[in-house]
Amino acid sequence: MNKIITLLFALVLFHPQIIAQQTETLLDQPITLQDAITIALDKNHDISIAKRTVEIAENNASLGNAGFLPTITANGSYSGSIQDTELRFPGNQPDINVDDAGSTALNGSISANYVLFDGFGNYYTFKNLNTLAEQSGISARLQIEGTLIQVINQYLNVLFESESVRIAEESILRSENRLQRVTERFNFGNATRLDVLTARVDLNADSVALVQSNARLENAKRSLLIELGASPTESLALNDQFEINDRMAFDEILTQAQQNNAALVISRLASESAELQLKQSRSDRFPVVSLNGSYNYTRNELDAGQFEYQQLSGFNGGISVSLTLFNGFRRETQIQNAMVTLKNNQESLQLAEKTLERDVMNLYQDYQTSLFLLEKETLNLETAELNFERSKELFELGQITNTQFREAQLGVSRVQQNMVRLKIQAKRAEIQLMQLSGQLIEMD
């Protein structure tokens, strides 16, 4: 079972040349999505707790806890007393009268007890402890995956807000250029004061949008820093380049999910554990055979008596057999409850299998839809940019109105925003598919 601990701690080796550096150094430069995962695996508090939880389960899966090892007990005692003693013997033996007679008693023993046979209860207990340890490891993996999903989502949120800031800044530059041209035209009598005021209002609106985007960006950065185990006051810069795997095959994803999905594996292990608990409860029907032995030492010293001291030492041992004939039907109740628990876990396993297949189908459809929409939105962006450039030329020639030019400007911003949203949406669908198929912690 040590391989589970080894696997979990090996997760920090995603990126060997990065993990060798300090987290503080990483945060001083633009970090990639893989860097964020690496830092989170090393520094995230929830992940650290999950790893230590597995250690507890590993410690519990021992031969001693299963009852395979003997119990050895050492006992010792010493006592003393002072009494007036009067001894009267039959026949001609003289009486003994001693005032303030002292006596001491020294006892020591080492005993051992070992269960030779208990209906294979210790065997099933040991197997169940190992199953529970494995289940704890998979549960920790599931928790780590969930934490990594949060890290990835926060990372993508920062990228989205960063792009929103960039788009807002571009929109401000267009609005400033428009205001400058409208003002020049107004000075030459080719535009009205209303045109100038409208251009200024639009510029103000773009400025407000930029301030709001900056505020959301800073909030998103602080949330990401917490997920990375850092202080929210630290600086953070991201590398905004990431690729989308657009070649994920449904059959391969579903097969991987049915084999490696963490939640499904936990359900399988829960069924195995319930089956072992049923066998363990049935083991109480058999007798318990135990081997016991001890070494004892006793010494009694007397100031008044026929002898000064008495000392005994030696070994003794034996074998015992016990069988519970009746315990108020508690054994039968335990067996019945274990059978019900096993059936419930088997039902839960079937439900988990069906739910997983549904989730994979739904997510894969979202994944394909996002890729399709992203491709179409790419064409829309080209069209919107061409339309804006054409509108800009016509506006400079005075052939379209302020409103028409503004609509072309907003059209570019909307499509750019949708492009970013769809790209991140596709990446999130890809990541969720990897999580369902048990490939997230292997992501390169």
Measure the CA–CA gap between 388 and 407, rounded to whole angstroms.
9
Whether 46 is covered by a domain: the verdict is yes
Q: What is the mean pLDDT of residues 146-152?
A: 93
* 420: Cα within 13 Å, side-chain hemisphere: 19
Measure the CA–CA gap between 53 and 137, rounded to whole angstroms.
8
The b-or-e profile of 134-165 (16+ CB within 10 A means b, else e) is bbbbbbbbbbbbbbbbbbbbbbbbbbbbbbbb
DSSP-assigned beta bridge partners for residue 358: none
Instruction: Count Cβ atoms below 10 Å from residue 377 Cβ, excluding itself.
Output: 19
* 222: Cα within 13 Å, side-chain hemisphere: 8
| 211: its two tokens | 């301030």
Measure the CA–CA gap between 94 and 205, rounded to whole angstroms.
122
Q: Looking at residue 27, what is its pLDDT?
A: 66
Measure the CA–CA gap between 118 and 285, rounded to whole angstroms.
9
Measure the CA–CA gap between 263 and 266, rounded to whole angstroms.
5
* List of long-range contacts for 245-248, beta carbons under 8 Å, 24+ apart: 245/430, 246/371, 246/426, 248/364, 248/367, 248/430, 248/433
Q: Looking at residue 309, what is its pLDDT?
A: 77
Measure the CA–CA gap between 435 and 153, rounded to whole angstroms.
13
Whether 175 is covered by a domain: the verdict is no
The percentage of the chain sitting over the pLDDT mark of 70, rounded to a whole number, equals 91
Same domain, 340 and 363: yes
Among residues 279, 271, 34, which one has the least CA distance to residue 152?
34
Q: Looking at residue 67, what is its pLDDT?
A: 87
Same domain, 11 and 147: yes
Amino acid letter, residue 285 = R
Residue 12 in this model has a pLDDT that exceeds 50 = no
Q: Looking at residue 23, what is its pLDDT?
A: 47
Same domain, 313 and 435: no
Among residues 196, 203, 213, 211, which one has the least CA distance to residue 171?
203
Whether 179 is covered by a domain: the verdict is no
Q: What is the value of pTM for the model shown?
A: 0.77
Nearest 5°: the CA angle 114, 115, 117 is: 150
Same domain, 102 and 36: no
Same domain, 318 and 330: no
Measure the CA–CA gap between 261 and 362, rounded to whole angstroms.
16
Q: Which positions ≥6 away from 212 have C-beta within 8 Å?
A: none
CA dist list (Å): 88 to 93, 96, 97, 304, 306: 8, 7, 9, 12, 12
Burial class (CB in 10 A: 0-12, 13-18, 19+), 325: exposed
Whether 185 is covered by a domain: the verdict is no
Same domain, 222 and 338: yes
Rounding to the nearest 10 degrees, give the CA dihedral for residues 393, 394, 396, 398: 170
Specify the CATH number for the domain of residue 338. Answer: 1.20.1600.10
pLDDT digits (tens, 9 = 90+) for 160-174: 999 999 999 999 999
Whether 166 is covered by a domain: the verdict is no
- Of the chain, the end-to-end C-alpha distance in Å amounts to 26
pLDDT digits (tens, 9 = 90+) for 380-405: 999 999 999 999 889 888 888 888 98
Same domain, 412 and 330: yes
The b-or-e profile of 228-258 (16+ CB within 10 A means b, else e) is bbbeeeeebebeeebebeeebeeeebbebbe
| Residue ending a domain, choose from 273, 299, 322 | 322
Same domain, 256 and 309: no
- What is the number of H-type helices and E-type strands within the chain? 12, 4
Count of structural domains within the chain? 2
Same domain, 263 and 354: yes
Q: Looking at residue 84, what is its pLDDT?
A: 72
Same domain, 34 and 23: yes
Measure the CA–CA gap between 318 and 116, rounded to whole angstroms.
12
Whether 189 is covered by a domain: the verdict is no
Q: Looking at residue 210, what is its pLDDT?
A: 95
Same domain, 308 and 385: no
Across all residues in the chain, what is the average pLDDT?
A: 87
Same domain, 389 and 317: no
pLDDT digits (tens, 9 = 90+) for 276-298: 999 989 998 899 999 999 999 99
Q: What is the mean pLDDT of residues 232-243?
A: 88
DSSP code for 31: B
Whether 310 is covered by a domain: the verdict is yes
Q: Which domain holds residue 313?
A: 69-117+288-322
| 309-322 sheet: strands from edge to edge | 71-87, 96-117, 288-302, 309-322
